């Protein structure tokens, strides 16, 4: 592989916006439909923000037995964090917080 091909390969993997953890595919669609983009895309760590508001973010961290959620508190510089035991509960909560935040 030549240098240009190698650089293009690194570029496409760095900016691949296909969600790696398919357990949150519906949330991924919701964020993208509202103009938010993914800044961290790992199996155990997902983060979304929006252009020109990078300090406002929604974050999901997954461990063996918990799902950690962090969401911005509207009209403040603070984040609220909580944990769940399963993907479904975490997804339902994050969807609700997201719509509360953007409305």
Answer yes or no: is 73 within a domain: yes
Total count of domains within the chain: 1
Answer yes or no: is 6 within a domain: no
Answer yes or no: is 55 within a domain: yes
Instruction: Using the Cα atoms of residue 26, residue 32, residue 33 and residue 35 in order, give the sign of their dihedral.
Output: positive
What distance in Å separates the CA atoms of residue 41 and residue 14, rounded to the nearest whole number?
10
Query: What percentage of the chain reaches a pLDDT higher than 70?
Result: 84
Task: Take residue 93 and report the two structure tokens written for it.
Answer: 């909560």
Answer yes or no: is 9 within a domain: no
Q: Which domain does 76 fall in, by range?
A: 22-102
* pTM for the model: 0.82
Answer yes or no: is 75 within a domain: yes
**pLDDT tens figures, 34-83:** 999 999 999 999 999 999 898 999 999 999 999 999 999 999 999 999 99
Answer yes or no: is 44 within a domain: yes
């Amino acid at each position: 592989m030549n240098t240009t091909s190698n650089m293009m390969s690194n570029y496409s993997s760095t900016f691949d916006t296909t969600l790696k953890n398919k357990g949150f595919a519906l949330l991924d669609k919701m964020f993208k439909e509202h103009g938010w983009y993914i800044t961290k895309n790992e199996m155990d760590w997902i983060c979304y923000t929006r252009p020109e508001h990078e300090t406002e973010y929604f974050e999901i961290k997954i461990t063996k037995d918990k799902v950690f959620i962090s969401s911005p508190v509207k009209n403040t510089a603070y984040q609220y964090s909580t944990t769940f035991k399963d993907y479904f509960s975490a997804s339902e909560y994050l969807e609700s917080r997201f719509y509360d935040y953007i409305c």
